[in-house]
Copies of this chain bind each other. A is one copy, B any other.
């Protein structure tokens, strides 16, 4: 096993720079942070909540939420905790902070104060600083995670972990490719190595912080093998830096068999690859994201989409589900709508919690397929690196299009693959680009798509992809001609 941990010296050199990049960085005192984190009761530690749920076979519910001002944000989280019955709380970071544009974020805070309502789409944690952020975590009784989409989240991690947040979403691939335009993948992976090392340092000091690579990527018809390949690589990168509590994610595709098979295969792949790489003491858990694509505008229909996500997430046995709201089509929800989405999901998850996971021959067949596909991609990626280095593998695989995320904004991504639903709504691959899938697998995908085209009396075409993207918003799974 090759030790790829960032050296303490290297870390401290960067740290100085990171903490000086914005005034609030000066508030970070690592020793004080450790002491504070140690004093947090177990039930407020995210990693603890996740592994407990996993062991007991429970599925936890977590919303997304964040507003510009601290007191408003506290009110929001408290509401989601009481009225929404959330098991886990989020703090979603605003888009300016995600791009390290703290000056713009400051303007957003000011404008929000003036307008009396949040004009930012999230909570600008860096601008607020450690002491103010701590007010958030201390005001609530549930564990709180930082959720964002930040290619360089080093300062954000320093500030929020010092402020008693106990979980941090993201990764060098999953918070670059879908969230940036031209940040070199090598850079974002380096930034995230820092974050993971920071979490590793907390771990070494006896504080377990949960890390969660962002599973859904672009959230738009991403085939499970693509997001699984990214999840495994990011998982390895995190474990290499000393992370122990790791949650791997997947965004709902909509076909129940595929969604259940995706969570089963994700666990299976993670265990195999992590163990092969020598990581035996991983606290592995999973997260299932309710449908990330377009939603129906009608709230009653949106409740249907939310419920379906909860059904699939629970029947797949995910450790937690990230919940949408009936306002999804309209952007950021009110706290009331957010709590409604949580309560609908709660009812579903509770009613299903006594019932077993879904298992069927169809699920087993699909699991076998996803395993083969993901292994083909990962082995294709590792073949480009020496010593199975996940960083090198990721960078070169993206360059070569061996990993290719559909509809991603980043110029680090080839963007040659195109997904499409088959006749039963499974997400299949229409254009495979340079994905190194076995020929019989590619043939299988093509056959399934031809079946659908035949059923619809048209030829397999780009138009079908567009139809699929808008289908759920228009009330269906497969985008059929009207």
Cα of A303 to Cα of B301 in the assembled complex, Å? 10
Q: How far is the CA of A476 from the CA of B58 in the complex (A)?
A: 14
The one of B257, B339, B356, B477 in contact with A424, judged by C-beta atoms closer than 8 angstroms, is B356
User: Interface size (A, Cβ < 8 Å)?
Assistant: 48
* Contact yes or no, B304 A345, CB < 8 A: yes
A389 adjacent to chain B (CB < 8 Å): no
Determine whether the beta carbon of B356 is less than 8 Å from that of A359: no
User: What mask results when residues 83 to 120 of chain A are scored 1 for a CB within 8 Å of chain B, else 0?
Assistant: 00000000000000000000000000000000000000
Q: Tell me the residues in window 454-482 of chain A with beta carbons closer than 8 Å to chain B beta carbons.
A: 472, 475-478
A2 at interface, CB cutoff 8 A: no
Q: Which residues of B contact A360 (CB under 8 A)?
A: 358-361
A303 CB to nearest B CB, Å: 4
- Say whether A351 faces chain B, with CB atoms less than 8 Å apart: yes
Could you tell me the distance in whole angstroms from the C-beta of A306 to the nearest C-beta in chain B? 8
The 8 closest A-B pairs by CB, nearest first: A304-B347, A307-B307, A300-B343, A300-B340, A303-B303, A360-B360, A301-B347, A351-B477
Which residues of chain B have C-beta atoms less than 8 A from A342's C-beta?
A: 300
- Does A423 make an interface contact (CB < 8 A)? yes
CB–CB A355/B424 < 8 A: yes
Q: Which residue of B lies closest to A349 (CB)?
A: B304
Task: Give A257 to B421 CA distance when docked, in angstroms.
Answer: 27
Whole-angstrom CA separation of A342 from B298 in the bound complex: 12
Please state the number of chain copies in the assembly.
2
Distance between Cα atoms of A312 and B341 in the complex (Å) = 20
Tell me the bound Cα distance from A356 to B256 in angstroms.
Answer: 10
The answer to whether A425 has its CB under 8 Å from any CB of chain B is yes
With A303-B344, A304-B348, A359-B360 given, name 8 new contacts (CB 8 A).
A300-B343, A303-B304, A304-B346, A307-B344, A308-B348, A350-B477, A353-B477, A355-B425
Asked whether A440 is an interface residue with its Cβ less than 8 Å from the other chain, the reply is no
- Interface flag for A215 (CB, 8 Å): no
Task: List residues of chain B with CB within 8 A of the CB of A353.
Answer: 476-477
Interface residues of A (CB under 8 A from B): 254-257, 296, 298-305, 307-308, 310-311, 339-348, 350-356, 358-362, 421, 423-425, 472, 475-478
Contacts of A346 in B (CB 8 A): 301, 304, 475
Residues of B within 8 A of A311 (CB): 307-308, 311
Q: Report which residue of A301, A310, A359 has the largest number of chain B beta carbons within 10 angstroms of its beta carbon.
A: A301
From B303, B308, B339, A351 is in contact (CB under 8 Å) with: B308
How far does the Cβ of A61 sit from chain B's closest Cβ, in whole Å? 12
How far apart are the CA atoms of A347 and B359 in the complex, in Å?
24
A253 vs chain B, min Cβ distance (A): 11
Q: Which residues of B contact A304 (CB under 8 A)?
A: 303, 307, 310, 343-348, 351
A215 CA / B415 CA spacing, docked (Å): 53
Once bound together, how far apart are the Cα atoms of A342 and B301, in whole Å?
Answer: 9
A255 (CB) vs chain B CBs: closest residue: B355
Q: Given A354-B478, A355-B255, A476-B351, does the pair A308, B307 have CB atoms closer than 8 Å?
A: yes
Name the residue on B nearest A340 (C-beta): B300
Cβ of A356: which chain B residues have Cβ within 8 Å of it? Answer: 257, 362, 424
Instruction: Output the nearest chain B residue to A348 by Cβ-Cβ distance.
Output: B304
Please name all residues of chain B whose beta carbon is closer than 8 Å to the beta carbon of A472 when the two chains form the complex: 351
Q: What are 22 A-to-B residue pairs whose CB atoms are below 8 Å?
A: A257-B356, A298-B343, A299-B340, A300-B340, A300-B341, A300-B347, A303-B307, A303-B347, A304-B307, A304-B345, A304-B348, A308-B351, A346-B475, A351-B425, A351-B477, A354-B423, A354-B424, A354-B425, A355-B425, A358-B360, A359-B360, A360-B360
Name the B residues within 8 Å of A307 (CB-CB): 303-304, 307-308, 311, 344, 348
A300 to B299, CA, bound (A): 11
